[in-house]
Copies of this chain bind each other. A is one copy, B any other.
Amino acid sequence: MTRMPISLRLHRLLDPTGRASRSAGWVNRVLAVCIVASSIIAIVDTEQAISDLAPGFFLWSERIFGAIFLAEYVARMIAVGEDPRYRGLAGRLRYAVTPMALIDLVAVLPLFLGEIAGNTQIVRLLRLFRLLRFSRLGPFSRAATILLMTLRARLPELLLSLLVALVVLIFSATLMFLIEGDVQPAAFGSIPRAMWWAIATLTTVGYGDVYPVTALGRILAGMTALAAIGLIAAPTGILATAFAEALRRYHHERMEPVAPDAGQEGAVARPQP
C-alpha cells in the first residue's frame, strides 16, 4: 500500500457511504452518535431543573462536542479538495456555501457563541439536520429510497386527501360556529376558534378542552368524528398501495427478487426458479 496524501485519506475516512475504507464506517458511526448525543444533551439542557443540577457537565460536554464538530469541519474542508468539483481554494469556498456545508458550520457556531450568548440549545438542535449526511449509511439507505419513492409516486392523491380534509375542516368548523357560536363564544365564537376544535376532532386527538354542549352540536361532532376515520383511512390506504408498488419497482430495477431481505436471517427467501 502506497503513501496517500492526507486529503485523500480524510476523503476516504469521511465517505458518507462508509464503503471507501474499513475505518470510514467507524468514523461515520462515531459522528452520528456524537450528533445524537449532542442533540439529546441540548434538549435536556433546556430543562432548568436538570441543567442547574450539573451546569459543568452541560458546559463541558458542549465544548467537547463543539471541538469534535470543528475538527470534522476542518477535515471535510481539506478532504473536499479530492472532489473534482471543489478543487483548490476557490473550489473549497464554493463548497463552503453549499447547504450541507453551511449546516456543518452552524453546528460549530455554538462553540463560540456559547461564551457570548448563553442559551444555544436551539442552534445546537439544528445539528439534527446533519444526520441527513449519514442517511446513505447502512440499512436505512435502501429503506429511505423506498419510502421516498412511495411518497413521490402517489403525491397528488395524498395532497388531494389533505385538501379534502381541509375542506371538511372548514365546513365542520363553520357549522359548529353557527350552532354553538352563541352558547360558547370563547370556544366557537368565530370560525378560526371553531377550527381548533375541528382539527382536534378530525385528527382524533381530542384534547377535550373544547367540545360542544348542545344536542345539535354533539350530532355534528359525532359526524365529524366519523368523517375523521375516513380522512385517516384514505392516506393509509394510499400509502399501503404506494409502498407495495415502490417495493416492487425498487427490486425490479435492480433485477433482484422481490424479497431479498428474506435471506437476511437465513432461511426465509428461497431463490426463485
- Interface residues of chain A, those whose CB is within 8 Å of chain B, are 39, 43-44, 46-48, 50, 121-122, 125, 128, 131, 139-140, 142-144, 146-150, 152-154, 156-157, 159-163, 165, 167, 170-171, 174, 177-178, 189-193, 195-196, 199-201, 203-209, 211, 215, 218, 221-222, 225-226, 228-245, 247, 249, 252-254, 258-259, 261-262, 264-265, 268-272
**Whole-angstrom distance between the Cβ of A200 and the nearest chain B Cβ:** 7
Q: Are A128 and B167 in contact (CB under 8 A)?
A: yes
User: Given A233-B236, A234-B239, A269-B249 in contact, is the A156-B177 Cβ separation under 8 Å?
Assistant: no
The 5 closest A-B CB pairs, nearest first, are: A237-B239, A237-B240, A205-B206, A47-B190, A143-B156
- Nearest chain B residue, comparing its CB with the CB of A207: B208
Q: Are B249 and A240 in contact (CB under 8 A)?
A: no
Residue A157 contacts which of B143, B171, B230 (CB distance < 8 angstroms)? B143
Bound CA–CA A47/B226 (angstroms):
23
**Whole-angstrom distance between the Cβ of A161 and the nearest chain B Cβ:** 7
- Which residues from B are CB-within-8-Å of A174? 43, 122, 125
Bound CA–CA A144/B272 (angstroms):
17
- Nearest chain B residue, comparing its CB with the CB of A213: B209
Residue A122 contacts which of B47, B167, B178, B201 (CB distance < 8 angstroms)? B178
Q: Are A191 and B43 in contact (CB under 8 A)?
A: yes
Q: Are A218 and B237 in contact (CB under 8 A)?
A: no
Residue A235 contacts which of B44, B128, B211, B230 (CB distance < 8 angstroms)? B230
Residue A48 contacts which of B47, B190, B196, B230 (CB distance < 8 angstroms)? B190
